[in-house]
Structure 1
Amino acid sequence: MLAMLLKMNNICRSYTIKYMKKLQQRQSSMKTEQKNTKVANDVINYLQNIPEYTGLLENLPKSLLRKYRTPENMYLINKNTADKILNTLKPHIRPENPIIEVNPGMGFLSEKLITNLNNNLYMFETSNHFLPQLSRLKDEHPHKVECKVADFFGMWKLAFQDKMDNGNRIKELLGDLSTHDNNRIVKIIGAMPGLNFIKHLINNIVFHDMNNHLGKPDLFITMPGYNYEFLTDSQVQTGKHKSLPALFQLLFDFKVLGSVPKAHFLPWTYPPNIKKLSVMDECNMYLVNITQKDKLPCQSEYLPLLWYFFKPHVFSMSTKVIPMLEQWIPGCGVWLISGQDPPDTNKNISPGEDDAELPHMTIFTEFGDLTLKQKVTVFKRFVSWPEFEQSPFKVTMENNLPKFVLHLDDDGKDNIGTHIEEDMEHSDTEMDA
């Protein structure tokens, strides 16, 4: 018992050290970008030497003329690309679907959406700089267009604050767009340089936030290819373990609709620190459609447990399945080896006909030997066993919930908790995005 406690303490200490190092790296990166306040010459030359951008330079804030490693927002500046995006989106939009355009900027795509579609358009712009152009569009189409200065892709921050103090920030942000109909489909269009909004959507599904107010988002997002390939990594389906891509692939359907030149969006970015970056990824952005699956991998009340089960500190590719599970439920390995379940198994959550069959399991079977669907099958069997309710797994999960899930009264609670795991040195590294 003492050895186990020492092991848990070392694991927690290791995670704290890693977190502090990552925080220091991010702070250092932010300071570097703050010092680099000069505009990028290649951006200026590009805008000055292409006729279709005549007069555009004077209408852009200097912040968009610099280069960043990971900008918070990106803006479309090319009308031809706006046409291409519109033509790609039109077959996917029905008349009853409200449309959200995130960071419309100069309004090039906005004008085409207004002219070619009869849908209501809700524009959420982060920068006050573009408000005059967008206000003009609203004044010209008062019954069809709404415009707000707000960080829509940052709404996960508002969701966190609402959860902490029972506020109404999300509802106020959405205004007339707010709904209690979770099946109302809303089309969201924008350029997304990072993954925070994807994480927000995952958390909304996993923790089934009933105060979502948005409905069912259907995203049409222009994003860097390396972000899309990270989320949709096919090796995750066949054994590779990465928490965010695994959850993304379990919860969403996705497809690439096309690609657009990366140079047609500002600000420009420095090449990412990725070893295998193709010319396609460097020069283009993917236009992708991301939609929540109609059928979730398990019942909604078990999704937080599934979320925790797939966290990197629970298991890695090299973690042996049975020894890991037996740390939570001693002696449960016999059920996996025999392929049988205890008599009192909870049939409401246990695997069904649509779940993947497990291979013959031994004490040497590793999680890397299982497909993504087979890992879900292991999870369902694990939580369906009668001993699960008395196991420490659920308590450990609750002690490690994200802060936004906890109420204000719980804010002072120690959320590091304890993690029972093995082979930490082999845990997969999540992409820092």
Structure 2
Amino acid sequence: VVSARRVSRGRVKTLLPGEDASDATDPEITRVWERFPKILRRRTADPEHIYHVHSAAVELLVKNVNPTSEEALIFEANPGPGVLTKALLEAGIPQLRVFEKIPVFVGHLELLKEQYPSQLDIVREDFLRLASISASDEYGVTERTSQLLRGVPHLPWKNEPVVRVVGTLSRKKEVTFLRFLLHVLPQRASIFAVGRIDFLLFISGLEYTYITSTNKDLRRYRGISVLYKLFFDIQVIDKVPRRLFLPLPPKWKPKPNNVAVDHDNLFLVRLTPRSDLFELLTPPERLLELVFFIRQNMVKRTAYVIPTLEKWIPGCGPRLIHCGVKVFSRMGDLSPDQMLTLFQQFSALSEYQDSPFIAAVTREMREEDPSYPEL
């Protein structure tokens, strides 16, 4: 369920017409970039990493981190200057594991480690490069994923999340990290092999539109919107101005496109894998087929449902109509639950297992994983 609450901007200053962004730079931001000028002071529209360094963001994260139990681990991805790291330790988080590769930041974090030796664990990895890490593991070159999760117990899927990942994502990391999560989650692979792991993340306005858009807004609604809602319980918590994160964005604003996007704020969301995820379909391995079904059919959201599915299984239209599918329904008109129901009806057809659809799924899966069984 996607929920939102009233946004509080607190003491954040609003830019006046004609005011230069640099004139409104918050003293907290200035103090941090003066300590790490080579890394953080340069403005950029497309940074590799974005760092939460201002109290407006840090206090919000600390307030909402809420470990599910005393045994639960908090992972902080790319802590950078360690502003949140210090705040979490001071708040009494019993087990905090941070992932940082940049040497100057690692050195600063090691000073915190001296103050909190039993609470803080430093791992010299970029957790947000999980796709690359998992790929190298699959080829047998490394075992880096298991190192990220060392000491984390394997728990039944319905248990409370065993790890909470906290971080701020640049657009580059959203595309690689979040898409990878959507890829491995239905397989219960990579980090999800240990059980449910949830995420407390600042994301861009663009990703926010994908996560929250519904079938009432065909311009913004995407296949990825359907996958997010089927795979995760989603909570939208708050938003914080982008100019309170480092590196600062450029003074010019992105050109508007056809989809209205809030580029001025980052949105704090909690993504928790659904406890009933592997009960949506029988057998649960069919989730991979569901992903392919959604991705293929949401490419053209204005396509009519019946003609589209008859390309996979000729003559299936009357049977689907008998099951309740409306004749003039378009793919983009379907809610996530309706899309799931449509797939359940489609996959229950007698021709399904021998259809070109299954052949296409198998072909794609084998391109990604040669060990995937052939038809």
Q: 1:261 to 1:208 in 2, by over 3 A?
A: same
Measure, in 2, the Cα distance between the counterparts of 1:80 and 1:315: 38
Alpha carbons 1:321, 1:366 under 8 Å: kept = yes
Whether 2:141 is the aligned partner of 1:181: answer: no
Matched with 1:172 is 147
Give how far 1:191 is off.
0.5
Matched with 2:167 is 190
Matched with 1:66 is 42
Q: 1:237 to 1:303 in 2, by over 3 A?
A: farther
Q: After TM superposition, list the pairs within 5 Å mapping 1:116-135 onto structure 2.
A: 116-135=91-110
Q: 1:62 to 1:376 in 2, by over 3 A?
A: same
Give how far 1:215 is off.
3.2
Measure, in 1, the Cα distance between the counterparts of 2:129 and 2:193: 15
Letter in 1 for 2:295: K
Matched with 1:295 is 276
Give how far 1:255 is off.
1.5
Superposed CA offset, 1:34-64 (max 9, x none) = xxxxxxxx787666xx544565334214232
- Matched position secondary structure for 1:146: strand
Give how far 1:265 is off.
1.0
Superposed CA offset, 1:263-307 (max 9, x none) = 2211123444443556xx343221111111122242421111111
Whether 2:197 is the aligned partner of 1:233: answer: no
Gaps of 5+ in 2: 1-19
Letter in 1 for 2:151: D
Measure, in 1, the Cα distance between the counterparts of 2:33 and 2:289: 51
Alpha carbons 1:237, 1:372 under 8 Å: kept = no
Alpha carbons 2:213, 2:221 under 8 Å: kept = no
Letter in 2 for 1:293: R
- Matched position secondary structure for 1:68: coil
Matched with 2:293 is 309
Alpha carbons 2:186, 2:288 under 8 Å: kept = yes
- Matched position secondary structure for 2:207: helix
- Matched position secondary structure for 2:237: strand
Superposed CA offset, 1:237-285 (max 9, x none) = 889752211111111111221222322211123444443556xx34322
Q: After TM superposition, list the pairs within 5 Å mapping 1:23-422 onto structure 2.
A: 50-52=26-28, 55-79=31-55, 81-90=57-66, 93-165=68-140, 167-177=142-152, 179-181=153-155, 183=157, 184-194=161-171, 195=174, 196-209=176-189, 212-235=192-215, 242-270=222-250, 271-275=253-257, 277=260, 281-296=262-277, 297-299=280-282, 300-312=284-296, 316-339=300-323, 358-359=324-325, 361-362=326-327, 364-401=328-365, 405-407=368-370
Q: 1:208 to 1:401 in 2, by over 3 A?
A: same
Superposed CA offset, 1:299-348 (max 9, x none) = 42111111110114676223222222222222222212333xxxxxxxxx
Q: 1:337 to 1:397 in 2, by over 3 A?
A: same
Q: 1:221 to 1:203 in 2, by over 3 A?
A: same
Q: RMSD of aligned C-alpha atoms? A: 2.9
Letter in 2 for 1:335: R
Measure, in 2, the Cα distance between the counterparts of 1:113 and 1:58: 23
More displaced stretch, 240-249 vs 216-225: 240-249
- Matched position secondary structure for 1:147: strand
Q: 1:242 to 1:138 in 2, by over 3 A?
A: same
- Matched position secondary structure for 2:236: strand
- Matched position secondary structure for 1:375: helix
Measure, in 2, the Cα distance between the counterparts of 1:58 and 1:227: 30
- Matched position secondary structure for 2:80: coil
Alpha carbons 1:123, 1:146 under 8 Å: kept = yes
Measure, in 1, the Cα distance between the counterparts of 2:254 and 2:303: 30
Alpha carbons 2:234, 2:269 under 8 Å: kept = yes
Measure, in 1, the Cα distance between the counterparts of 2:98 and 2:167: 10
TM-score (norm 1): 0.70
Measure, in 1, the Cα distance between the counterparts of 2:121 and 2:71: 16
- Matched position secondary structure for 2:315: coil
TM-score (norm 2): 0.80
Matched with 1:416 is none
- Matched position secondary structure for 1:329: coil
Q: 1:94 to 1:225 in 2, by over 3 A?
A: farther
Larger radius of gyration: 1
Alpha carbons 2:79, 2:99 under 8 Å: kept = yes
**Structure whose residues are more often helix by fraction:** 1
Alpha carbons 1:262, 1:285 under 8 Å: kept = yes
Matched with 1:422 is none
Measure, in 2, the Cα distance between the counterparts of 1:146 and 1:248: 31
